[in-house]
Chains A and B, each alone.
Chain A
Amino acid sequence: MSADRSTPNTPPADGTDAAASASASGQTELIRFDKVTKRFGSHTVLDALDMKVYPGKHVTLIGPSGSGKTTILRLMMTLLKPDEGTIKLGDRYLTHEDKGGKLVPASDRYSREIRKNIGMVFQQFNLFPNMKVLRNITEAPVHVLGMDKDAAEQRARELLDLVGLTAHLDKYPSQLSGGQQQRVAIARALAMRPQVLLLDEVTSALDPELVAGVLDLLRDIAHSTDITMLCVTHEMNFARDISDCVMMFDAGRVIEFGPPEQIFTAPEHERTREFLSAVR
């Protein structure tokens, strides 16, 4: 790794620390990326990335297309495996198992166990089209958490109430609008009571008039729960509203991070200024 690359990668580690430290002093980080490298063929998408996120914090990842934001979320969800480095959730490794002091790549069973704590909402919703709305939400609580069916349905109804779709619990996803489907997907993720919620451009596939409803819902969730959120978005106003920390990515590196007021009003980096003026 060349020197000019290692330097910009270091500050975010401490920086997120610093940014979050106001309210999280003394707490240990919930998510920790240590020198995570991810390549696709010869293309290095993430280069020895260090990153920390504290419990209950809402972190927004911004940056130009192809900078590696989705890759970070997919690594976190174990949809991808890092080529080098480690990712930790709390005091457990996400990517590796600690076998008698030796780190070995995580087994399927171990990954499944630890990722119960992580939920994800996708750009394309990815609801199960063969299940009605209610069962989309109860499926995992019943078959993963072993929840009683009635209890799971009760909880699903509460969540549908939260996302404003109680009237639609008996419909198939294809009978709902995009915005409604995305709200069901949010309810489905929350039903697992994850510690961490990953959101990847969840409004990008929606018609413009449906965006506001979904963002309002996420604002509500961000402000009313202590769930840790890692959020990729192009909606800068939304990022400003919900984030404790904004990370600006470029070419797989965090080039700047900080509280939203700082990043959006007084960015230090030229690249950040360019990016922000381009998306506004």
Chain B
Amino acid sequence: MKFDWSAVGAFLPTFWNGVLVTLQALALGSLIAFGLGLVWALAQRSSLKVVRWPVTALTEFVRNTPLLVQLFFLFYVMPEWGVTLSALATGVIGLGLHYSTYTAEVYRSGIDGVPAGQWEAAIALSLPRRRTWTAVILPQAIRRVAPALGNYVIAMLKDSPMLFAIGVLEMLGEARQFSSQTFQTVEPYTVVGVAFIAIAYPASLLLRALERRLVR
């Protein structure tokens, strides 16, 4: 088997499109996962059972079913309900929702890790509830768990090829399309594999540096 460098060259233009789609899905998916996860984490600390219960049920359900099944569900069932979104938008929502159930746990451990004395100091100063969360508890909790959140971004990157299953042309999708048109397989898949490493490895180094900085 010969590695054909010219095939790499031919693949590159569409490959860049795939890279952009992957990064887009990752960025938007992360935003959803970070935002929604925080909502779940706070809802699970609510004093109201009617808030806590459904959220616990939903997050347990989503966390314990495969992402691929959720993607298919969103892609084929949402239109039945009259919600039609592009494949990429559906994929981003699926990825973000799935990972929000993990980030929720991360936030939760971060919040639990803030010493009781911080709550007590906030009470002793009569800080309003909302201000206590936004100025005292969450900044400390998030700082604690930033590296763990970052790990989920990397995990999400590695799960992003699943979007191909609902027709999103991210990196893997472009490779697949290229190989079915040119019958060259080794080159495009090699490029994609290298690209994943090229993104994930520096990202994990960055995370480790962040971790070292945060643990002061």
A188: B residues at CB distance < 8 A: 125
* 8 Å CB contact of A78 from B123, B131, B139, B140: B123
Instruction: Evaluate whether A122 and B121 lie within 8 angstroms (CB atoms) in the complex, with A130-B143, A143-B135, A174-B216 already known.
Output: yes
Could you tell me if A126 and B118 are in contact, using CB atoms closer than 8 angstroms? yes
Could you tell me if A115 and B136 are in contact, using CB atoms closer than 8 angstroms? no
Which residue of chain A lies nearest to B130 when distances are taken between CB atoms in the complex? A143
Count the B residues whose beta carbon is within 8 Å of the partner chain — how many? 19
B135: A residues at CB distance < 8 A: 128, 131, 139, 143
- Alpha-carbon separation in the docked complex, A129 to B115 (Å): 11
A126: B residues at CB distance < 8 A: 115, 117-118, 120-121
Residues 104 to 144 of chain B near chain A (Cβ within 8 Å): 115, 117-118, 120-121, 123-129, 131, 135-136, 139-140, 143
B110 to chain A, nearest CB (A): 13
A205 to chain B, nearest CB (A): 11
* 8 Å CB contact of A119 from B124, B127, B129: B124
- Alpha-carbon separation in the docked complex, A126 to B116 (Å): 9
Instruction: Evaluate whether A140 and B127 lie within 8 angstroms (CB atoms) in the complex, with A130-B136, A174-B216 already known.
Output: yes
Count chain B CB atoms within 10 A of each CB in A112, A143, A188 and give the residue with the most.
Answer: A143
Could you tell me if A124 and B117 are in contact, using CB atoms closer than 8 angstroms? yes
Could you tell me if A144 and B121 are in contact, using CB atoms closer than 8 angstroms? no
- Alpha-carbon separation in the docked complex, A192 to B123 (Å): 13
Residues 88 to 137 of chain A near chain B (Cβ within 8 Å): 108, 112-113, 115-116, 118-120, 122, 124, 126-131
B134 to chain A, nearest CB (A): 10
Could you tell me if B128 and A79 are in contact, using CB atoms closer than 8 angstroms? no
A122: B residues at CB distance < 8 A: 117, 120-121, 124
Instruction: Evaluate whether A143 and B128 lie within 8 angstroms (CB atoms) in the complex, with A77-B123, A115-B123, A128-B118 already known.
Output: yes
Could you tell me if A192 and B125 are in contact, using CB atoms closer than 8 angstroms? yes
Could you tell me if B136 and A127 are in contact, using CB atoms closer than 8 angstroms? no
Which residue of chain A lies nearest to B140 when distances are taken between CB atoms in the complex? A130
Count chain A CB atoms within 10 A of each CB in B118, B124, B129, B143 and give the residue with the most.
Answer: B124
B140: A residues at CB distance < 8 A: 128-130
Contact residues of B: prevailing secondary structure: helix
A189: CB under 8 A from chain B?
yes
- Alpha-carbon separation in the docked complex, A143 to B121 (Å): 14
B120: A residues at CB distance < 8 A: 77, 79, 120, 122, 126
A200 to chain B, nearest CB (A): 11
- Alpha-carbon separation in the docked complex, A140 to B129 (Å): 12
- Alpha-carbon separation in the docked complex, A136 to B128 (Å): 15
B139: A residues at CB distance < 8 A: 130
Could you tell me if B126 and A127 are in contact, using CB atoms closer than 8 angstroms? no
- Alpha-carbon separation in the docked complex, A116 to B129 (Å): 14
- Given A79-B124, A130-B140, 17 new contacts (CB under 8 A): A77-B120, A77-B124, A119-B124, A122-B121, A122-B124, A126-B120, A126-B121, A128-B135, A131-B135, A139-B125, A140-B126, A140-B127, A143-B135, A144-B125, A144-B128, A189-B125, A192-B125
12 pairs of residues in contact across A and B, judged by CB atoms under 8 Å: A108-B129, A112-B128, A115-B123, A115-B126, A120-B124, A126-B115, A126-B117, A128-B121, A128-B140, A130-B139, A140-B125, A188-B125
6 A-B pairs closest in CB distance: A140-B125, A126-B121, A126-B117, A120-B124, A130-B139, A116-B126
